[in-house]
Structure 1
Amino acid sequence: MLILSALLAALVGDLVVAQDSDYGSSPPVYPSPGTQGIGWEAAFARAEAFVANLTADEKAQLVTGTSGPCVGNIGAIPRLGFNGLCLQDGPLAIRQATYASVFPAGLTTAASWDRGLMNLRGIYLGAEFKGKGAHVALGPVVAPLGRAAYGGRNWEGFSPDPYLTGVAAEETIMGMQQSGIQACLKHFIGYEQETQRNPSLSPDNVTIESVSSNIDDRTLHELYLWPFANGVKAGVASIMCSYNRINGSYACQNSKTQNGLLKGELGFQGYVMSDWGGTHSGVASINAGLDMDMPGPLSFGGDQNSSFFGGNVTSAVNNGSVSETRVNDMIMRIMTPYFFLQQDEYPPIDGEEPALNSNFPPYDYQFTLGASNVDVRDDHNQLIRELGSAGTVLLKNVGNTLPLKAPKTMGVFGNDAGDVVDGLYFSGAAFQNQYGYEYGTLPVAGGSGTGRLSYLVSPLEAIKTRAAQDGTLVQYILNNTLLSTEGPSGFSSAILPVPQVCLVFLKTWASEGYDRVGLEADWNSTGVVESVASYCNNTVVITHSGGLNVMPWADNPNVTAILAAHLPGEESGNSIVDILYGAVNPSGKLPYTIALNASDYNFAPITNSTALVETEDPNAWQSNFTEGLLIDYRHFDYYNQSVAFEFGFGLSYTTFDMSGIGVTSSGVAGGGTGWGANNTGVTSTPPSTNTSSPGGNPALWETLYTVNVTVANTGGVAGAAVPQLYVSLPQVPDGDPTPVNVLRGFDKIMLQPGQSQSIGFDLARRDLSYWDTNAQQWTIPSGPIGLNAGFSSRDFRQTSQITVVS
């Protein structure tokens, strides 16, 4: 019966289109391109020899998840010396493990704008996963990209800007795989909301399908596919397909996106695995490019013999609905990175894992278990502390309120300041609600992207430790209800004298499975700030948040400083104290835009409206990406809207300037000679080359121009500057709005007072192109292209232009 259903799905699954054809469709793309092992040639040969020795049943086993000690498992084949695969969450920690580190979130990492720290975080993450015997780490995350500020999982990824996200993903993947762990880039593609991400049952037991992300071709390429291209070019081992539908077709059986875009256009050489429960067919999914079904059974912890894959794979080969060549390719894709990373010689799985993953016994296959509770943390806390500070953004600092200068008295307020009271693991049912837990600081958010803390340094703990050095009197109230409802008259008698400085800590919970319902910080945050600020005329607000926050109190004259500290991980308190006292000069920049009001954002995820909750229409859930390319700062710039704090913005305890912009051409092959500011001999489309190389056409990645600027520290203390380059492409004739400016380069440099340094931004062909939907090519537009260098998306210090194609 499963085979029949799958055959029907294969016939019709890719022909379903969005209700409004203007937003795009999913035309069928078959067959699934085979891997050539490009870049992994020796491992590819080993995988070929391995596949040649497999039986039909063993082949089915290798593409189907099973019960086991890890979050995801591929069973062992002892006769061939294969010990199986252990797949573990997640993007910032080996989630459920003991004695492992909890690193800053992807959002925090992006806010650092520091390639070196991104890479080192990846190296350390990879080392911890490997030390626990995990072969595959289910991260990093580039989808959700962050189309909607309300997205419950935006914090797992990096930024709504595809360029910044692409760089962060690439550095993370290279670091992780340098340590010997397979990275799994997720979730492919258009996964931008939690609401209705999975099918549901109507009141009359009709299956209501997952939300369909209806995306036009240009938007898909220039926004949502862009960071996946970076990941593929970096050699990522695996990619996870998403829960949602794309233009009407489920992501894990969408042949246009998996066969056409990922394996065809981007030349992806690794394997595609399903998100857990994201497989909805057997034959249709396999032929559309899905290589591995997770967790295997149709339901979590269900019957191992009930699977869309498993024995149905063998049956499908026997009846001709799936070719043996396709199944062999699936296994080649799985085993090539395994051999490339030398995972046939690997640490055993931590013996504590079966107890932590108790939903999935008994095991159908033998897994090699080692010692329990292996400590893999090493000295990674130093990087965690540094990155927590580097990802903290100073938004306001009136009269040099910060850094603190040995105040005699200090008040600490807000339920985010103290230690947690409900345990150190944020994935339990107690935390799966709109606001999370009430008391305790927020070092990380919830769901499969969280981590099990082995310890946590709270802000209050670190503040008291540091304040003791100065003899500062530290008083505190952590009850937001008391602070917000009773006002100063209700708590002023408890805090005497009025502190010289008051620190208010706010938090915003977010989690997989839930979209946020508002953009202000939680737990009566505005009331807390207004109350404390009316009592204390030197109030510093610090936010720990699973996303961006609007700040209606930002212009309050008694709010003298604001720090967006994001999700800093286990060293949270130490990271923020380093900033507050000036041991670290803040250098974080916003990886998103903070609007003046929540209503200024141009869209939100589809919510559980009464009509949709009660619908009997299986295809009722449609999310039309009508904004196209105009998300985050691109939206605000295009419509010339004022914002509170723009993308790329962040203050420092020193000042920087920029001068001397210059543009040089590389002279690489690309059509014509004599590269220059007004060269007319360059073809608009890339040279015809092998387009199956990882990352796509290699010509897209060749440097065409380098933009040079000089950055100087004009202040009195050492600090790190983040110069940024934005490209302004002309409007193209397809009628869809082209953003006014798009990020196409950044760097982070430490400068001493008075020191200056020259910085070069390389511009690849891809950076200067748009996706031409008619030609189905990346195309450089004719006419002048603006080059804007500065310190944020609205702080340009140097400008120039080039005309690549006349």
Structure 2
Amino acid sequence: MDLDELISRLDLPTKISLLTGADMWSLPPLPEIGLDRLVMSDGPIGVRGEQWSAGDPSIALPSPTALAATWDVELVRRAGRLLAQEARRKGVHVLLAPTLNLHRSPLGGRHFECFSEDAFLTGEIGAAYVEGVQEGGVATTPKHFVANDFETDRFTADVVVGEQALRELYLRPFERVVQAGAWGVMTAYNSVNGTTMTEHSELVNGVLKGEWGFDGFVVSDWTAVRSTEAAALGGTDVAMPGPSGPWGELLEAAVREGRVPESAVDDRVRRILRLAERVGALRPDDRAGTAGPAPIDGVALVREIGARAFTLLTNDGVLPLRGSPTLAVIGAAAREARVMGGGSAQVFPDRVVSPLQGLSERTGVRYALGTDPRIRLAPIPGPVTAEFLDEAGVVLREERLAGGEARWLGQLPPGVEAGRLRNVRLRAAYTAESSGEHELSVAGVGAFTLTVNGEVVLDESIGLDGGDPAAAFLSPPERRVAVAMAAGETYEVVVTHPAGTFGGMAVVSFTLGHADPAPGEDEQLAEAVRVARECDVAVVVAATTPEVESEGFDRADLRLPGRQDELISAVAAANPRTVVVVNAGSPVEMPWLPEVAAVLLTWFPGQEAGAALADVLFGDAEPGGRLPTTWPERLADAPVSAVTPVDGKVCYDEGVFVGYPAWRRAERAPAFWFGHGLGYTTWSYDSIAAEGSTVTVAVTNTGTRPGREVVQVYAGPRRTLAAFDVVEAEPGQTVVTTLFLPERAFQVWEDGWRTVEGGHLVEVGRSAADLRLSATVKI
């Protein structure tokens, strides 16, 4: 297709209209050239679509840290194909994922949404993700380009980073996914060395589009474009969302006045049309009748990935469980699993299998809460009716919700015009299961009126602390009120809230929460100890909360929230066969580690959490995960932790020493090294042969059951990960794997890539610290 010929048909205003969103999630159609509307959607663990609500359910995959923990590029590629299937089902052309920023600090708020501390592993997993999604005809936009490794003041912070670290670490995963054929890239909010990324011509035009030859489109993070001329010359192709913003008529004037060349506009339009051609949105009628790929069973794949990602940190032999033991299942997250991180990564699955449900379907279970670390109340259970009201109180539309969470961003329900909408009302008929003081809450920003059976119990305007406007949507404050209810009685609970705006578009974001009467925490903890003592095995599910791991803010510490550490120690003292399931997307401190029989890390495991957990605990599946990032024993031990800007700057003074190379240099041992993970069998590393860029390794399954092993190769000037492979073997079987070391493993950046010639030690093993074999290669 001759894209230049299509561009020649368009006048300047029409071309510029393509460079800004038509709304929150799409670019406008141009029927005169056969261009369909281009729809984008958040990821990375699912495809939410244009509706930020449970009305349009989505498959919820495990978190990106979990995907990386599989170290299995083919499995991640399959996950990408599932995401493409979801995107096609929802009419989405562009998935705003994956996130390629690094785990520079364990305090990073979106740590769960990134893959690894290691640039090579991030690049390989990211490339597989990109390839899988795009094989399904859906574009990806690896993000956030570049050095957006924290959340605090992310809109304004300036990252000060040396050229060597920028090239060897932070740019390297993006370079890899460009090599893999990514069709898009998203620029970050932050600045790098004094220039905001949407205006960073040196990195966007110079490195990404020029040096790497990237021919896809560059989209801004939402509202990140804040200038006309500078952003237009800086390389960003699409400013989202729209239609308001600093481009449009302002950019047209800049072109007509000669401040921005029209050729720069044409290049952007060409990239957008190329994207449309790739995803089937340019002359879409030409693709009619094209057979799609075979359907993927999303539920089964999510369950499989969950088990493959689960990382067994310690095990005294209690796992896998044998027979039909009676389990004490303990913890708030056992009943209401945290299956995903908060923020733009959120999707709404049509089902979630909790650990309690998954284990109850397998054996006898007794449940105890123990302690509840959640700061906000859970949404009131549905059905809940959302009513959209005009200024006169006329209901414009009703929507049925599964629970008390109301979220619409930009895209309102059909028939609701933003100009007419004044208030949104949630109405729930709640039947109390127990008598006593129930708690109701509203979480959101703005004015709220809460009534129970027509009586006002809360009438307040809630303000927002902090400077991140996204926090109003992603992590709003909460107000609670106690209401006496009688068991079996039904109460009409109604909350009314005026609609707001963000970036010129309508925003509805608030939650009606509820909690049953409950005994005090001391009583709950004592009950958990009693239950644990009376059961064969205790399984404590400990989790972070949305107030700890989410978009919009960084973590303050690595402690499990609430009294969970105390709960684990008390349960372990009552039952020596205590298994702790850590339901977190990033590292947590584990002061009780020597007291428990086993620790299994499930990350944020996706919607099939409980089913995958039962598979692994009972040995139907082996925990296949290996740590994609180093876990410190204490935050104070971490070589790099600071994420808070000082005088507006975040200085990456550590240079290239991030993650396990920094631990080695500091000569300190973490709780668990990068690459660590146990299975249910044992392995011997038998032989290594290395010649040039090829390494051949033989390993043997020395245990009594089939198993999977991740063979890891470390090499180069700083002994970093250079290759890896997942192998499988039956008991007693020896397998041989051949791994290829990329040239980049032996290069350093010194005003250009320089190969460090001479002899290089190549080490092979089970983690960055457990290295079993070595050889020398000459480069």
TM-score w.r.t. length of structure 1: 0.74
Per-residue Cα deviation, 1:226-255 (whole angstroms, up to 9, x for no partner): 100111011111111001111111111011
Residue 779 of structure 1 aligns to which amino acid in structure 2?
R
Per-residue Cα deviation, 1:624-667 (whole angstroms, up to 9, x for no partner): 100111111111111211111110000011001112211123xx
Residue 719 of structure 1 aligns to which amino acid in structure 2?
G
Match of 2:697 in 1: 709
Match of 2:282 in 1: 344
Matched, 1:477 2:369: yes
Contact 1:258 1:290 in 2 (8 A): yes
Moved more, 576-585 or 330-339: 330-339
Match of 2:216 among 262, 270, 275: 270
Match of 2:721 in 1: 743
Match of 1:138 in 2: 96
Match of 1:204 in 2: none
Residue 541 of structure 2 aligns to which amino acid in structure 1?
F
Give the secondary-structure state (helix, strand or coil) at the position aligned to 2:572. helix
Match of 1:281 in 2: 227
Return the alpha-carbon distance in structure 2 between the equivalents of residues 140 and 493 of structure 1: 42
Match of 1:725 in 2: 713
Match of 1:291 in 2: 237
Structure 1 pair 187–283 and aligned structure 2 pair: CA distance change class (3 A) = same
Match of 2:744 among 762, 766, 782: 766
| TM-fit CA distance, 1:473 | 4.9
Structure 1 pair 244–546 and aligned structure 2 pair: CA distance change class (3 A) = same
Contact 1:193 1:605 in 2 (8 A): no
Per-residue Cα deviation, 1:275-318 (whole angstroms, up to 9, x for no partner): 00111211111111111111135xxxxxx3xx211122221221
| TM-fit CA distance, 1:263 | 1.3
Per-residue Cα deviation, 1:332-389 (whole angstroms, up to 9, x for no partner): 1111132133333659xxxxxxxxxxxxxxxxxxxxxxxxxxxx99621111000001
Per-residue Cα deviation, 1:440-490 (whole angstroms, up to 9, x for no partner): 2100011001111211000000111001xxxx3534335347999638983
Return the alpha-carbon distance in structure 2 between the equivalents of residues 455 and 221 of structure 1: 42
Matched, 1:238 2:184: yes
Matched, 1:122 2:96: no
Match of 2:686 in 1: 659
Contact 1:416 1:478 in 2 (8 A): no
Match of 2:252 in 1: 314
Matched, 1:52 2:89: no
Contact 1:104 1:387 in 2 (8 A): yes
Give the secondary-structure state (helix, strand or coil) at the position aligned to 2:641. coil
Contact 2:20 2:238 in 1 (8 A): yes
Match of 2:639 among 582, 591, 602: 602
Q: Tell me, which stretches of 5 or more residues in structure 1 are unaligned?
A: 1-44, 199-209, 298-303, 348-375, 419-439, 613-619, 666-704, 730-738
| TM-fit CA distance, 1:153 | 0.8
Residue 702 of structure 2 aligns to which amino acid in structure 1?
T
Contact 2:371 2:563 in 1 (8 A): no
Between Structure 1 and Structure 2, the one with more strand by share is 2
Residue 570 of structure 1 aligns to which amino acid in structure 2?
Q
Match of 2:538 in 1: 502
Structure 1 pair 600–497 and aligned structure 2 pair: CA distance change class (3 A) = closer
Moved more, 540-549 or 90-99: 90-99
Contact 2:590 2:633 in 1 (8 A): yes
Structure 1 pair 251–484 and aligned structure 2 pair: CA distance change class (3 A) = farther
Give the secondary-structure state (helix, strand or coil) at the position aligned to 2:260. coil
Per-residue Cα deviation, 1:699-735 (whole angstroms, up to 9, x for no partner): xxxxxx1111112111100011100000141xxxxxx
Match of 1:624 among 648, 651, 658: 651
Residue 89 of structure 2 aligns to which amino acid in structure 1?
G
Match of 1:783 among 726, 749, 758: 758
| TM-fit CA distance, 1:325 | 1.2
Match of 1:171 in 2: 128
1:579-594 → structure 2 map (5 Å cutoff)? 579-594=616-631
| TM-fit CA distance, 1:178 | 0.5
1:59-98 → structure 2 map (5 Å cutoff)? 59-67=15-23, 71-95=24-48, 96=52, 98=56
Return the alpha-carbon distance in structure 2 between the equivalents of residues 136 and 548 of structure 1: 31
Return the alpha-carbon distance in structure 1 between the equivalents of residues 79 and 566 of structure 2: 37
Match of 1:17 in 2: none
Structure 1 pair 483–193 and aligned structure 2 pair: CA distance change class (3 A) = farther
Return the alpha-carbon distance in structure 2 between the equivalents of residues 262 and 133 of structure 1: 29
Match of 2:66 in 1: 108
| TM-fit CA distance, 1:401 | 0.3
Return the alpha-carbon distance in structure 2 between the equivalents of residues 197 and 473 of structure 1: 45
Return the alpha-carbon distance in structure 2 between the equivalents of residues 653 and 746 of structure 1: 20
Per-residue Cα deviation, 1:263-284 (whole angstroms, up to 9, x for no partner): 1222211111110011121111
Per-residue Cα deviation, 1:68-90 (whole angstroms, up to 9, x for no partner): xxx42111112222122111111
Give the secondary-structure state (helix, strand or coil) at the position aligned to 2:346. coil
Per-residue Cα deviation, 1:106-159 (whole angstroms, up to 9, x for no partner): 11000011111100000110111122111111001102x111111111111211
Give the secondary-structure state (helix, strand or coil) at the position aligned to 1:168. helix
Match of 2:594 in 1: 555
Match of 2:266 among 328, 337, 340: 328
Match of 2:458 in 1: none
Matched, 1:535 2:574: yes
Match of 2:661 among 617, 625, 634: 634
Contact 1:122 1:172 in 2 (8 A): yes
Match of 1:386 in 2: 304
Structure 1 pair 473–312 and aligned structure 2 pair: CA distance change class (3 A) = closer
Contact 1:714 1:754 in 2 (8 A): yes
Give the secondary-structure state (helix, strand or coil) at the position aligned to 1:187. coil
| TM-fit CA distance, 1:744 | 0.8
Contact 2:685 2:698 in 1 (8 A): yes
Match of 2:151 in 1: 194
Return the alpha-carbon distance in structure 2 between the equivalents of residues 485 and 568 of structure 1: 27
Moved more, 630-639 or 185-194: 630-639
| TM-fit CA distance, 1:782 | 3.3
Moved more, 717-726 or 317-326: 317-326
Matched, 1:569 2:619: no
Contact 1:456 1:570 in 2 (8 A): yes
Match of 2:337 in 1: 441
Give the secondary-structure state (helix, strand or coil) at the position aligned to 1:802. strand
Return the alpha-carbon distance in structure 2 between the equivalents of residues 751 and 802 of structure 1: 28
Return the alpha-carbon distance in structure 1 between the equivalents of residues 204 and 34 of structure 2: 31
Return the alpha-carbon distance in structure 1 between the equivalents of residues 689 and 255 of structure 2: 60
Residue 585 of structure 1 aligns to which amino acid in structure 2?
E
Return the alpha-carbon distance in structure 2 between the equivalents of residues 711 and 720 of structure 1: 11
Match of 2:331 among 391, 402, 414: 414
| TM-fit CA distance, 1:100 | 2.1
Contact 1:487 1:531 in 2 (8 A): no
Give the secondary-structure state (helix, strand or coil) at the position aligned to 1:786. strand
Match of 1:150 among 102, 107, 110: 107
| TM-fit CA distance, 1:750 | 1.4
Return the alpha-carbon distance in structure 2 between the equivalents of residues 492 and 102 of structure 1: 30
Return the alpha-carbon distance in structure 1 between the equivalents of residues 680 and 773 of structure 2: 23
Moved more, 171-180 or 528-537: 528-537
Across the aligned residues of Structure 1 and Structure 2, the Cα RMSD in angstroms comes to 2.1
Contact 2:330 2:528 in 1 (8 A): no
| TM-fit CA distance, 1:783 | 3.4
